[in-house]
Structure 1
Amino acid sequence: MTSAEVPGMELEHITELSTPITELAIDDGDPEKPVLWAFFDGGPPQTVLANTGEHFAGESTASFQNAARSQRSLQVAGLEVEADGADIIVISSSGGVRRLTGHGTPVTTLGLFPAAGEPLLMSGSGGGSIRIWNPRTGEVLRRSQRCQVSVLLTFAGPDGGVRIASGGRTGELCVWNPLIPGSSKAGPVSTHGFSDRVARTDLLDRGSLVSTLTEMLRPRHGDAPTVITVEGAWGSGKSTLLELVKRRLSTKPTKLLPGPRLTLFRADLMLWRSELKALKPPKRPQ
């Protein structure tokens, strides 16, 4: 994919601060009005409403949930990443090396971009561009060509999607919408008050998943045995999902014949007797 074919980002607003920005932080104590903090060398920080870019004159608790400074190396998706001039070097756990090219000027900062599944890599350069990469494939997913970049920060926008705030030596504080679905709302499943009884109705609309699992488990001639694990927190619906799949399977599970239960002790005893019988010498004829 050439640079011209890479989708761009939407620049939502710019705030002129006229002083080189060295660090950014987000105070989202009020989810409706998150506040961006911009820090400078030798001067007091300035605050801006993250969703509008307007200067913020109210009180902020400064309970930062996310803060960022310029960094030229980090870990993402189990990979070691570091800036090398205008390129980015990605080193896998096995020692493989991949070089990501595309920035026309030296990379000044790296960061993590939250996304469904594994996080992505974002990078900014002194020449005024931001790029979002898939670090495993080296593919550029989004790019910008505006605002000189020294530091990058992500936060949740008013629609719940991920936004990128960038700051640089010119004092421009930019907020971008990369138009990539993120995972800002992802988190642990709360199971307080749940019971362990199997639900009779599919309240979570898992019909597509049930159909897929049923098709995978349906016996076919010549197929090898199939094993599927269902993992999740207590009360998150594992048993209900398996019960829904079970109802759709036309072939009922084979019932075990009545008899003594095969325990680890019985299995060991059977093997021991078999070995003893093999070692016992045959009887001599009288």
Structure 2
Amino acid sequence: MTAVLDKPAAATDVPVPRRPFAPRGLAKKILVYLLLVAGAIPTLLPLIWLVRSALMNSGQIFVSPPQWIPKPFAWDNFTGALTQVPFARYFLNTLIIEAGVLIGTLLSCSLAAFSFARLRWKHKNLVFGLLMSGVMLPYAVTLIPTFLFWQKIGMVNTYVPLVLPSFFGTAVFNIFLLRQFFLSIPYELDESAYIDGASPFQVYWRIILPLSKPALAVVGVFTFLGVWNDYLGPLIYLNDSDKYTLAMGLASFQGTYTAQWGYLMAAAAVVLLPIVVLFAFAQKYFVEGIALTGLKG
């Protein structure tokens, strides 16, 4: 007798088990989101207070109990604040310094990090340790000697002391951050490029930098925030009011229009707006760069 074998069931005949509804998992997720929202509210409260105060007159700002929704909206606070002080000029001055410092920091720090992470040279780890020890040196220790140096060569009241040091790798933490990221890139890529006749600079420019966009974005965001909020540097080196940055302009505005809180809050909101926009667009790269930057030694 010939045995008749049953045909295997078709793939479509196999019932696909459905995932059971998990109310516990859904409740846990909802609880996590509620906790995150509850934690975000205290963080956003100063920003909310700033925005609502910028849209109120001085009498509404300090009403007790606090009034959160302006009635009416005082939009003229922004026009009044921006016309009382030349914030457009301060904004342009800040952008000039930002552009120079960003270019200098990204170029010098990435070159130094590439040397420490990808090249082989004698006493490399010793030099890197000495460089990192400079982080422990307080800024106030070098403040007066640095100022005397720039004063002696006639660079006070210019943007040179605020921009030129960034081209010499003075941001040690950024060098450390980029070095750690460069170490996570496989070294076989460098060897393949060297076999094809590439120079170390070509490896740095064509291989390492394109693969390091998240880390470079983190350094760029940190540098932008540092320059944007810097008050001490421009205060020391800039004397003419037409060369003020936004931080100095806001401080001088506060000293002149102390009683006009609506104008002051509006000016602070305008200064803060580019930071919020930058974080909104660079958040993805910022988080990715921090997550991918390892601690490989």
TM-score bucket of the superposed structures, by smaller chain: under 0.3
Q: Which has the larger radius of gyration?
A: 1
Which structure carries more helix by proportion?
2
* TM-score, normalised by the number of residues in structure 1: 0.20
